[in-house]
Amino acid sequence: MTTLAAGRFEGSRFVFPIRVYYEDTDAAGIVYYANYLKFAERSRTEFLRQAGIDQSDLRESAGIFFAVRRAEVEYLRSARLDDVLQVSTQLVEMTHVKIDALQSIRRALPGGGTEELARVLMRVVCLRTDGRPVRMPGHIRDRFLPYVRPLSEALQQLEALGDATVETTGSAAPAREE
């Protein structure tokens, strides 16, 4: 398999670099809103690879896969053509069937540091190939455990990155399933 820019873990948080290309933007050179979800998906996919989870193998050998059940995006600033972005992924809750992740899309600033452009709260669920929910196999769940941190801790990490202009509200918490 060819090795590409795969990102890196910073503690339990995974950080994946992305450059904004022309195909990501509208006529004004601003990233189209739906593409932030594509950036988040790429980061989650690379997170899985780095954590040793092969999605194709999981689907073929165990007959299961992960699918997005809920996505909540807060758009804070616009990304533009040629921006270098960092998409971080932090798992914030996990059960036997679902995983909640907090993702932050940040722009690298010329003098160093970053500024947050979008924040994504994502819920993925484990499904059988027939689309029905299923418990994650123990060995897969064990792979995720080292990367799960409470949402409050994940939000503190984001704020520590120095973007004081972004306020965190109660809406940042993933909704609980009944």
Q: In this structure, are residues 58 and 65 in contact, taking their beta carbons and an 8 Å threshold?
A: yes
Pairing between strand 98-108 and 84-94? antiparallel
Based on the residue annotation, tell me whether 163 is a catalytic residue of this protein: no
End-to-end, the C-alpha distance of the chain in Å comes to 42
Please give the structure tokens belonging to residue 85: 């972005």
Q: Of the listed 24, 26, 54, 130, which one is catalytic?
A: 26
Per-residue tokens: 116: 């947050």
Q: Which residues are known catalytic residues?
A: 26
